[in-house]
């Protein structure tokens, strides 16, 4: 924090733009010199650091919904504990930093606004006046933490909905722990969840038979859905199960991949390519998004394969 203040003061003295000089001096003397602002920086740093660590884990390519649920649940528990004890830890930390920066470790006093009482109010009930410190804790700290918990609970509820549909085959251990009656009910519910009008991708009865056979063929150790799908490679006797695991593994845990794809699209379709066809644009976008796979492809083999299929062969009769 001290380095930021010194850097801003240096900018205010040496920069040639008067507007930048005034803004830098105002930040260094007014904002960074305010104890409330110092408290707010520490609170935001701790909240965003906790969220950022979990966000990076959720953006991994092999992240699954059950693991994401554990991470979100752990983050909610962290914020619930932080809500109870975090403010006073931040206060101690902020006072130590304030001493180093020669900032008075006190909350500024504000003018008390007295509200006019209505004629039907009970005058015997005393009005509650919070101290500056308690007002900051209630109106700022608790508000931020509660908003974070509410947002995480909404995301957790969405994951719980997915778990109610796909949860019975998240891992091989969960699948092997179910009895036949429970497994059959899960398969029936799974068929209904994916059914649209009279069309469906999964036949519940066939799915139940396939999973019963799958339980006997899988090893005893716990296997993730990605490994189970690789187990099906080359097998044609589990069509419904393969579809179910593919749907499970393609459910997006976050929207980071979609956002990156749209960012690529903006780079591809510029005003110079305004007349590009949809088919060519799809090809360019796919090439840019899956660039890591494209780098492993040998172009010479593709050219040879294309030329061998494109040669016109015509029998000549003499």
Q: What torsion do the CA atoms of 158, 160, 166, 169 make, to the nearest 10 degrees?
A: 140
* Domain assignment of residue 274, yes or no: yes
Q: Are residues 199 and 278 in the same domain?
A: no
Mean pLDDT of 86-109: 85
In 3D space, the residue among 125, 96, 101 whose CA is nearest the CA of residue 8 turns out to be 101
Q: Are residues 39 and 82 in the same domain?
A: yes
Q: Are residues 62 and 135 in the same domain?
A: yes
Question: What is the per-residue burial (b if ≥16 Cβ within 10 Å, else e) of 18-35?
Answer: eeeeeebeebbeeebbbb
8-state DSSP, 316: -
* Domain assignment of residue 190, yes or no: yes
Q: Is 199 helix (H, G, I), strand (E, B) or coil?
A: strand
Of 249, 276, 308, the last residue of a domain is 249
pLDDT of 42-69, one tens digit each?
A: 999 999 999 998 888 887 777 777 788 8
pLDDT greater at residue 236 or residue 262: 236
pLDDT at 316: 47
Q: Are residues 259 and 240 in the same domain?
A: no
pLDDT of 25-44, one tens digit each?
A: 777 777 677 788 889 989 99
* Domain assignment of residue 16, yes or no: no
Q: What torsion do the CA atoms of 244, 247, 248, 249 make, to the nearest 10 degrees?
A: 120
In 3D space, the residue among 126, 248, 240 whose CA is nearest the CA of residue 187 turns out to be 240
Residue 68 makes CB contacts below 8 A (sequence gap 6+) with 58, 159, 253
Q: Are residues 201 and 263 in the same domain?
A: no
Q: Are residues 238 and 261 in the same domain?
A: no
Please say whether the beta carbons of 36 and 108 come within 8 A.
yes
Q: For the chain, what percent of residues have pLDDT higher than 70?
A: 85
Q: Are residues 80 and 103 in the same domain?
A: yes
8-state DSSP, 61: T
Q: Are residues 146 and 63 in the same domain?
A: yes
pLDDT at 117: 66
Of 191, 226, 249, the last residue of a domain is 249
pLDDT of 103-140, one tens digit each?
A: 888 887 766 666 666 666 665 655 567 788 888 898 89
Residue 22 makes CB contacts below 8 A (sequence gap 6+) with 12
* Domain assignment of residue 98, yes or no: yes
Q: Are residues 213 and 100 in the same domain?
A: no
> In the structure, what pLDDT confidence band is assigned to residue 101 with cuts at 50, 70 and 90?
confident
Total tally of structural domains belonging to the chain: 3
Q: Are residues 139 and 191 in the same domain?
A: no
Q: Which domain holds residue 271?
A: 255-287
* Domain assignment of residue 12, yes or no: no
Q: Are residues 260 and 245 in the same domain?
A: no
* Domain assignment of residue 10, yes or no: no
**Angle subtended at Cα 124 by Cα 122 and Cα 127, rounded to the nearest 5 degrees:** 90
Q: Are residues 150 and 103 in the same domain?
A: yes
């Amino acid at each position: 924090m001290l380095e930021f203040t010194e850097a801003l003061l240096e900018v205010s003295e040496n920069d040639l733009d008067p507007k930048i000089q005034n803004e830098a001096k105002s930040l260094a003397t007014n904002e960074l010199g305010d104890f409330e602002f110092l408290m707010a920086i520490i609170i935001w740093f701790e909240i965003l650091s906790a969220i950022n660590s979990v966000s990076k884990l959720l953006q991994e390519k092999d992240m699954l919904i059950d693991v994401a649920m554990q991470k979100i649940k752990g983050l909610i528990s962290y914020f619930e504990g932080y809500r109870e004890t975090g403010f006073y830890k931040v206060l101690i930390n902020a006072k130590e930093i304030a001493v180093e920066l020669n900032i008075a470790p006190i909350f500024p006093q504000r003018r008390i606004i007295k509200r006019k009482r209505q004629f039907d109010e009970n005058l015997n009930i005393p009005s509650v006046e919070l101290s500056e410190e308690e007002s900051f804790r209630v109106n700022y700290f608790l508000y931020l933490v509660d908003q974070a918990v509410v947002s995480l609970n909404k995301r957790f509820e969405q994951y719980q909905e997915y778990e109610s549909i796909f949860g019975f085959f998240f891992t091989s251990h969960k699948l092997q722990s179910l009895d036949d009656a429970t497994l059959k009910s899960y398969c029936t519910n799974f068929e209904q969840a994916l059914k649209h009008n009279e069309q469906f991708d999964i036949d519940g009865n066939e799915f139940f038979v396939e999973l019963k056979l799958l339980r006997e063929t899988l090893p005893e150790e716990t296997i993730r859905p990605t490994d189970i799908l690789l187990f099906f490679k080359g097998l044609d006797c589990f069509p419904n199960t393969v579809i179910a695991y593919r749907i499970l593994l393609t459910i997006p845990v976050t929207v980071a991949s979609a956002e990156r794809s749209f960012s690529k699209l903006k780079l591809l379709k510029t005003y110079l390519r305004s007349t590009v066809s949809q088919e060519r644009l799809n090809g360019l976008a796919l090439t840019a998004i899956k660039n890591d796979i494209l780098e492993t492809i040998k172009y010479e083999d593709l050219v040879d394969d294309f030329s061998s299929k494109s040669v016109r062969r015509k029998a000549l009769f003499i």
